[in-house]
Amino acid sequence: MTSTRSRGPARTLALLGAVLLAVTAPAACSSDTGGSGGGSGKSGGTYTWWDPYPQHKKSSDWEQRVGACGKEAGVTIKRTAYDTTQLTNQALLAAQEGTAPDLILLDNPAVSTLADTGMLTTTKELGLDTSAVDKNLLAAGVLDDKAYGVPIGANTLAIYYNKKILDGAGVDPASVKDWTSLTAALKKVKTAGDKGITFAGIGTEEGSFQFLPWFWGGGAELTDLDSPQAVAALELWTGWLKAGYAPDSVKTNSQNTTWEEFLTGDFGFAVNGTWQVNSAKEADFKTGIIQIPGKDGAAAPAPTGGEFITAPVQKDDGRYETTKKIVDCMTTPKGMVETANTFAYYIPPTKDGQQQLLKEHAELKPWVDAVHAAKGRTSDNLGTKYPKISEPLWTAVQKALAGSMSAKEALAKAQSTAEAETR
């Protein structure tokens, strides 16, 4: 199970700063410490597990779920939780020090960052069968045609709508099929005296995350930030702002503040994610979901969120047999549905898992469809180049929304910066 990829600490240190920011990151972390645990590897002993869910404490359903998979594999799992960014930093340091845990649950854009250091085993090395995983979801963990880890589920973006506002404006949500029909719907909502759409245009990874469906939906590619298709996507956003269909607050909105705006009941539409499903049910008004439309129709590819189970390289490769058993337990169709129910918003990454989930929660069908159309941010073999492209992109969005540059000028500068950073 030895990989041919470089695994040296110098390479790990060189990439320590190349860490992707989380789309949404909890603020606290566990006080536990990491590092490989004891045990012979084949049965008994302790296996270490790191994840980005500090909000799920030791008594939580998630903690019990992880522990149950350890028990099924015949070992005890010691779980440590960090916030998303800290987790990636800690993993890189652990790889350098030779204290990497047996398993790490990573935000999908960070998989290629860690894989590029040589600290992760491939799914082939671990003997994992990923043939049932949706290819568009697995692609987020692929680097140089090698897969590193298995997604435990996915979330993505769609458009929530306020049914009361749309009814009052005479807008049928089913009529929103492309950019033209969406813009027409926003005009009707504004004419009726309500607010059109809110989204997160903040100058962070969240801003790129929310812009990508429009960027990709217009036919643009991340290797060509100033293409006519990219310019058209950014002009769509700036046009909404100028027309008053979107508020000035989108310039600084995070996804959380966007959702808070929508919950006021003043907006017809809001771009947000699967993770707001339960909150939408509890809103003071009836909500619905439509897919983010592409420029000329069909669902736009929205970026995938969600984590991968990855297995860091261990000095004792005898541990991998049990590691594989733990991964297999977490990624059965039943296991993925349990994860989806635990987190209330994850869509299983396999057809069987999705079908089982829909038997229990038929209302999640729009989100299953959205995940099918989704795309990994590091897909197209961008790997560690993605953060060097994303930052210039969100910077361009900021400048265009602020009016300090035209969409064309801002994206031209972004492309120049990205080319220099990714050479």
Q: What is the pLDDT of residues 168-193, one digit of tens each?
A: 999 999 999 999 999 999 999 999 99
Helix %, strand %, coil % of the chain (to 5)? 50, 15, 35
Which DSSP symbol is given to 239?
A: H
CA angle 199, 200, 203 (to 5 degrees): 150
Distance (Å, rounded) from C-alpha 120 to C-alpha 95? 9
Q: What is the pLDDT of residue 341?
A: 87
Whose CA is closest to 338, among 35, 68, 72, 119? 68
Q: What is the pLDDT of residue 44?
A: 75
Q: How many CB atoms lie within 10 A of CB 416?
A: 13
Q: What is the pLDDT of residue 151?
A: 96
Domains of the chain, CATH where assigned: 9-154+305-373 (3.40.190.10), 157-302+382-422 (3.40.190.10)
Q: Which of 15-24, 46-55, 310-319 has the lowest mean pLDDT?
A: 15-24
Instruction: Report pLDDT digits (tens) over 207-251.
Output: 999 999 999 999 999 999 999 999 999 999 999 999 999 999 999
Which whole number is the average pLDDT over 403-408? Answer: 98
Please, are residues 136 and 129 in contact by the beta-carbon 8 Å criterion? Answer: no
How far apart are the two ends of the chain, measured CA to CA in Å?
A: 32
Contacts of 48 (CB under 8 A, 6+ apart): 34, 35, 36, 37, 77, 78, 80, 101, 102, 103
- Residue linked to tokens 């995070």: 254
β-sheet bridge partners, residue 157 = 273
Distance (Å, rounded) from C-alpha 141 to C-alpha 127? 16
Instruction: Enter the pTM of the model.
Output: 0.86
Looking at per-residue pLDDT, the higher value among 90 and 381 belongs to: 90
